[in-house]
Amino acid sequence: MLISILLILPFVCSCLMIASSSRDVNSAFRMGLLCTAMPLVLATALVFKGGQQTDSYLWFSFLEIDVEFSLYGRGLSLWMAWLTTLLCFLAFVYSKSAFSVGIEKFAMGLLALEGTIIGAFFSAQNLVQFLFFFEAMILPSAILIALYGGLKRRRAVITFSLYTLAGSIPLLLGAWYLMAKAGSDNIYALAEILKTLPIAVQTYLFIAFSIAFAVKTPLFPLHSWQSISYSEAPYPLSAILSGAMAKVGVFGFAVWAITIFNKQVAEYSLYLIPFALFSALYGAALALRQTNIKRLLAFSSMSHLGLAVAGLFCLDDVVNAGVAVMLVGHGLTAGGLFFFGGIVQKWIGSTNIKFYGACASTNPIFASIFGFLGIAAVAVPCTAGFVGEFLILQGLFNSGFAFFAVIGGICVICSAAYMLRLMKNVLFGPIPENSGRANVSLSKFEGMAAVPIIVLILYFGLHPAPILNSFENKNEKLNLTEQEMQEFERILELLLEAEDNSANDSLEEYD
């Protein structure tokens, strides 16, 4: 099936890149361009097809736990996988100007990372499968930072790896306990068996899952790894970390935490929404203080994703659809800003925005594209971000506390402040005397690669129906296969049997 090929193809292409010549940069680039374009073509075909899903089959059994494997590519899973393939293709396009050597190794690592991210997004039904891809994406990310990162790349790799691995420990322990109780890793079986556990245990398990997803997103106070990882990673990789990999954390909240722990999310929503909003506000405040363009964009991503998580905790189908639109829009704008931030850093030789300036007069094409991306990041009307943020703010207002919408609005205002400051420093003003700026211009290849980003931001801003409609029929996600129905019926029979035994015991005591 198409969805299965899409999962396997990036790993196959990563292996094919071994055959490319390390001496001939142009041939290696053409090979990498083809290898990154094929998953994008398949993902686009899958979007037009409306998505796919496969039946579950027994992968292996261990300690009386039936571990299954299935692929689910509909709704949020489908759009996030498509976004990943687009950003990986564009990241490789911009890597030609970023790396003079080793482009074939970058393509190998990028394709491996792409495959693990797609695998995580397609793992919406089986927990072991999701955990495998959730942890596997750490390795190619760390290798790429180590090979192509900045002067502090060793510290960045250690911080990134330790934070993400440590954050996953509670998730692994909680998942093991829950699967041992259910005898399965199927999401519906886990959700049913959770109801039979004590309330305190349910709460602890929810916290364990949430910690891992909060680290990956990231949310305050588990965000310390983000700034150094994004700032030391090469710009094409930073675009993937912000535009695609961070979405796995939001996806974990949306698909796993809320589905399994729906009762806990509903009960503690008045605490969870302010927590996510504080993370968004804190990220915006940090972005306002930054002069390093990479750190500014990193904290901007933290702010936007915090707002998206707050929208998820509203537990409203319309808001969830808005979150999906926002995630797609954020991936496009954040990815584009990282790509063009890398271009201006290459020209000037610094990440400090105080050394930037006058691009509007010296490089009008670059200035037009960068200015558009900055305005799109503010979520003005006719852009994808506007649709997503409007629906999220509406959901926060309807949650019963209008104050939540006020905080969300403040985050949006702060995003306008730091983005306008960034555009002012990059596009306008005099050229600093000590900037060492050369007489450079935007290449046609780099300009053409920005066209799909601009077109898609406008398209989803003016016509978000393709994303919104994929969330219209929520029951479609609940269509179980025959094997899953049998597993679900088995769990129900066990629950009914336990209730009958409890009732008989009560009658005996009464007699």
- Residue 106: strand, helix, or coil: helix
The closest alpha carbon to 81, from 56, 54, 46, belongs to: 46
Share of the chain above pLDDT 90, in %: 35
Q: For 204-286, where are the E strands, in sequence order? A: none
Domain locations in the chain? 1-266, 268-478, 480-511
Residue 181 corresponds to which tokens in the numbers above? 């109780």
For the whole model, what pTM was predicted? 0.88
Residue 342 — very low, low, confident or very high, per pLDDT cuts 50/70/90?
A: confident
pLDDT of residue 120: 93
Q: How far apart are CA 187 and CA 68, in angstroms?
A: 11
Q: pLDDT (tens digit, 9 = 90+) per residue, 452-488?
A: 999 999 999 999 888 888 876 544 444 444 555 555 5
Residue 484 sits at φ, ψ, to 5 deg, of: -70, -35
Residue 289 corresponds to which tokens in the numbers above? 């203080």
Q: How far apart are CA 393 and CA 412, in angstroms?
A: 10
Higher pLDDT residue, 449 or 287?
A: 287
Q: pLDDT (tens digit, 9 = 90+) per residue, 16-39?
A: 888 766 667 778 888 888 999 999
